[in-house]
Amino acid sequence: MEKLERYIYENGIIYELGEHDCYYPAVYIDGYLDDINGNYAKARFEYLLECGLELLVELAAEDKIIEYFTHYQQRMCEEEKQIIAQSTIQDKMAEFIAQEILMYQDMN
């Protein structure tokens, strides 16, 4: 017999497996999408709808869905800034090395 998933998502609702292998509504989740700001947070939300329903149910039970995604968006923006800064440093280093090579070639 096929094992049933603990949670499923359909029509904007996360259902939890209950007695007699029936699913019961656990959380109405679609209403949260409008309140989540930022591309990273929305992408994470969509990912969790596919792969992390248990976390969404826990966050909803603690009334922390918006807080979680706001923090996630901020963290990803900070990561993006760091990556851009590192990329800029690497570009400057590459430019410096290219100039050094050109100077070395001119000297020979």
Mean pLDDT of 84-97: 85
**What pLDDT does 24 receive?**
94
Tokens of 36: 């989540």
Mean pLDDT of 53-79: 93
Residue 16 has pLDDT above 70, yes or no: yes
- pLDDT tens, position by position, 76-86: 999 999 988 88
